[in-house]
Chains A and B, each alone.
Chain A
Amino acid sequence: MDILNALVLLGNFVLIPALSYGSQLALGALGITLIYGILRFSHFAHGDIMAFGTMVVVLVTWLLQGWGVSLGPLPTALLALPAGIVATALALLFIDRSVYRFYRRVKAQPIVIVMASLGVMFVLNGLVRFIIGPNDQNFADGARFLFTVRDFREATGLDEGLGLRVSQVITIITTLVVVSGLFWFLNRTRAGKSMRAYSDNEDLALLSGINPERVVTITWLIVAVLVTVAGTLYGLDKSFKPFTYFQLLLPMFAAAILGGMGNPVGAVVGAYIIALSEVGVTYAFRKFLQYLLPESWAPDGLVQLLSTDYKFAVSFVLLVVVLLIRPTGLFKGQTL
């Protein structure tokens, strides 16, 4: 029995990775849920606009690195982030004006707008690959670790160590800042309240003099911030590859639906649940159990529930189970 070592082990391989992955998903899922709440359609181009924003950040980061600019221990990408956000906001507003606005005017069925977002998905998918190519791009620089597994071991004298990467710390702090900023905005400012009112009851909001186009514009601006930050953090944590971002669509949607579409709190909670189960189900628990169980009980196998390639299945199965038991999601949907 060695509870401390077991917990450190679990922390290093499951909890911290899940926490940072969950934070990245949460930012993405918040965007999906906001778009659903205000514009009332499932935004299939979400993964690709995320790739677009991150691509701009990567390019600007390379430019800055070329000029010799750096933030010391922090990644240069943080300096490039505003440029990425501006570019993404412009792109989203352009897409909205040229594609989605028409369908809002003719009051098209949501499913038609979803089709249009499929078209946008194709274009962005091609555009990103056209500009930066389909391969892995590394743009992380600065210090890699806040403290490594070895530092931790030496400091505490435990057998197991806990490493904390700079990208993980940045992810968690940034997510805290962005999410609390978003909730403050939605609950405390005039614009935020008008957004919630619009989401809650469109006609009533129109009658009270809320300008729908303004609400839509604000939504896209917020989405631009969310996706660019989420994409950049994911890229710093792992690496930037357009196809991976496209694949993030599924866990992000699963998180948003799990929490209840249109509900920001739900999206955040859903994201952490998805992340924790993805990492947990694919982690081999043998060493963890060895610390906890008496020697004779120690398992022979890896005690890995599923191999890592099944992580998409995890978000999917969770999604279906929750929808069957609680069709509205964990938190009731349609309330921004």
Chain B
Amino acid sequence: MNLRNISMFAIMAVLLLLVGFLQSWSVAMGLLNMCLISAIMALGVNIQWGYAGLFSVGTMGFVAVGGLAVVLTSMPPVHEAWAAGGLGILAGLALGVLTIVGAVQVWKRMKPGLARTLTLIAVIVVGFVLYRAVLDPAVDAVEGTNTAAAGYLGGAGLPVLLSWAVGALLAAGVAWVIGKVSLGLRSDYLAIATLGIAETIIAVMKNEDWLSRGVRNVNGLPRPVPYEVDLQNSVAFQGWADWFGLSTVEASSLFVKLCYAVLFIIVLAAIMWLSERAWRAPWGRMMRAIRDNETAARAMGKNVTARHLQVFILGSAICGLAGAMLTTLDGLMTPGAYQPLRFTFLIWVMVIVGGSGNNWGAVLGGFLIWFLWVEVEPIGTWLITVGTSAMPADSALRAHLLDSAAYMRLMTMGLILLVVLRFAPRGLIPEK
């Protein structure tokens, strides 16, 4: 960390403080929390792209898996749904997995030829029919139980903080499967394949109501921090709020956000420390060697495919962790809210702008880009209001422009990315 980098982080802090003074401290704290989560996601992508040069655009999928993990871990189990069809669903899924394993084994063990093709098709068709025959009635039974409030299996009823680890593990598991299949592909094919994976994961979460309630969302997720209402009713807290000269409502909201911020900072610091250790370790040097010249690294006896798989899993696990944190912060899981522009490509902008291959850069990028993503909209509205103030108040063009101000943020992000790529391709904090 030299003076230049420190001053960039200082500017970032001043920007957040300015929001606190000009807008409100609640907005500033909310921004800070999202900046922290964005920074973790950016670290995950940086490990894949900056360390190993993997062009994976499936970030959204892993973030969503992390969100699902929160539901699966922390929501109380729905006993009547389990009774109605829990075992059936488990059996159906097991059959599905068996089918895939069987098909892979047939493909690997039998000699290529007509016999193998026919056996393969037979295994897949029979497996699929059995899978649907077992799964469908169980799913209908589960989804039929009390559709207004439940209609899904619920979770394990464990503490919500545990779900962050589960989110990382679940994302790692999904990444293992995907990596096994698609990491042998050429770089731009991998990009399309991961883009497809992400869409598929979202489609599963939107459709499989027994798992995630689909588009009916899961709300009321447990929180790792106190509830505002409880704080407002506590006499001790009222005393604290008075001491700071704040209203109890405002103080409670700030306090909750502060608790989240502390949790997030701990996670970010831990991941940052581990990433920096990995970067300096022989493992990091090997990764850079693979990134910069795959053929040479292979010639030195490095198992490039295995290392790619490893780094893909690590990066995805971090994205899953961040996804679980995000869902915990929101307190609800909405599968429909996952959009590739916001959850994949925006994270990429963070990494490129911040400086790929540099963890501090990724963190700064996460902070700065999220800040702009949120703040460009009010700035754009203000600019348009000022710019069109000469027009008559009932002008249709003016109304249209004001309505469209929200889309300024997409253009701004694109322009920032293009300008950085052109004039500072190594990012704000370049790789050392």
Residues in chain A within 8 A of chain B (CB atoms):
41-42, 99, 102, 110-112, 114-116, 118-127, 129-131, 133-134, 246-247, 249-250, 253-254, 257, 261, 301, 305, 307, 309-310, 312-313, 315-316, 319-320, 323-324, 327
Ranked 10 nearest A-B pairs via Cβ: A316-B196, A126-B410, A122-B414, A123-B414, A126-B411, A119-B417, A119-B418, A129-B407, A312-B199, A42-B188
Binding site secondary structure of chain B: helix
Pairwise interchain contact A320-B182, C-beta atoms closer than 8 A: yes
Instruction: Scan residues 368-409 of chain B and give those whose CB is less than 8 A from a CB of chain A.
Output: 403-404, 407-409
B176 interface residue (CB < 8 Å to A):
no
Interchain CB contact (< 8 A) of B200 among A115, A316, A323? A316
Residues in chain B within 8 A of chain A (CB atoms):
53, 55, 128, 136, 181-182, 184-189, 191-193, 195-197, 199-200, 203, 206-207, 340-341, 345, 348-349, 352, 403-404, 407-415, 417-418, 421-422, 425
Q: Which residue of B lies closest to A126 (CB)?
A: B410
- CA A166 to CA B203, docked complex, whole Å: 32
CB distance from B73 to the nearest CB of A (A): 25
Residues of A within 8 A of B199 (CB): 247, 250, 312-313, 316
Residues of A within 8 A of B200 (CB): 310, 312-313, 316
Pairwise interchain contact A312-B196, C-beta atoms closer than 8 A: yes
Pairwise interchain contact A307-B207, C-beta atoms closer than 8 A: yes
**Complex A-B: 17 CB contacts under 8 Å:** A42-B192, A99-B422, A112-B421, A116-B418, A119-B417, A122-B417, A123-B414, A123-B418, A125-B410, A126-B410, A126-B413, A127-B407, A257-B189, A309-B206, A319-B192, A319-B193, A327-B186
Residues of A within 8 A of B187 (CB): 110-111
Pairwise interchain contact B404-A111, C-beta atoms closer than 8 A: no
- CA A120 to CA B188, docked complex, whole Å: 17
- CA A58 to CA B162, docked complex, whole Å: 51
Q: Which residue of B lies closest to A102 (CB)?
A: B422
Interchain CB contact (< 8 A) of A42 among B53, B191, B348? B191
CB distance from A327 to the nearest CB of B (A): 7
Contacts known (A123-B410, A250-B199); A320 close to B55, Cβ less than 8 A = no
Residues of A within 8 A of B412 (CB): 126
Pairwise interchain contact A133-B403, C-beta atoms closer than 8 A: yes
Pairwise interchain contact A130-B404, C-beta atoms closer than 8 A: yes
- CA A324 to CA B411, docked complex, whole Å: 37
Binding site secondary structure of chain A: helix
Pairwise interchain contact A122-B410, C-beta atoms closer than 8 A: yes
Pairwise interchain contact B425-A112, C-beta atoms closer than 8 A: yes
Residues of A within 8 A of B408 (CB): 126, 130
Pairwise interchain contact B196-A315, C-beta atoms closer than 8 A: yes
- CA A316 to CA B193, docked complex, whole Å: 7
Pairwise interchain contact B193-A123, C-beta atoms closer than 8 A: no
- Can you add 14 more A-B contacts, CB < 8 Å, to A122-B410, A249-B195? A111-B188, A114-B55, A114-B188, A115-B352, A116-B421, A122-B349, A122-B411, A126-B413, A127-B411, A130-B411, A131-B404, A246-B341, A316-B199, A320-B182
- CA A122 to CA B419, docked complex, whole Å: 13
Pairwise interchain contact B410-A129, C-beta atoms closer than 8 A: yes
- CA A313 to CA B178, docked complex, whole Å: 13
Residues of B within 8 A of A324 (CB): 181, 184
Interchain CB contact (< 8 A) of B203 among A111, A130, A249, A309? A309
Interchain CB contact (< 8 A) of A119 among B53, B193, B414? B414
- CA A131 to CA B341, docked complex, whole Å: 19
Pairwise interchain contact A253-B192, C-beta atoms closer than 8 A: yes
- CA A257 to CA B187, docked complex, whole Å: 13
- CA A96 to CA B428, docked complex, whole Å: 25
- CA A99 to CA B348, docked complex, whole Å: 18
Residues of A within 8 A of B345 (CB): 118, 121-122
Q: Which residue of B lies closest to A129 (CB)?
A: B407
- CA A127 to CA B414, docked complex, whole Å: 10
Pairwise interchain contact B422-A250, C-beta atoms closer than 8 A: no
- CA A320 to CA B181, docked complex, whole Å: 8
- CA A259 to CA B412, docked complex, whole Å: 36
- CA A119 to CA B352, docked complex, whole Å: 11
Contacts known (A130-B407, A312-B203, A327-B185); A123 close to B415, Cβ less than 8 A = yes
Interchain CB contact (< 8 A) of B407 among A120, A126, A312? A126
- CA A295 to CA B184, docked complex, whole Å: 49
Pairwise interchain contact B421-A115, C-beta atoms closer than 8 A: yes
Residues of B within 8 A of A126 (CB): 407-414
- CA A124 to CA B408, docked complex, whole Å: 11
Residues of A within 8 A of B411 (CB): 122-123, 126-127, 130
Pairwise interchain contact B207-A310, C-beta atoms closer than 8 A: yes
Pairwise interchain contact A121-B414, C-beta atoms closer than 8 A: yes
Q: Which residue of B lies closest to A304 (CB)?
A: B132
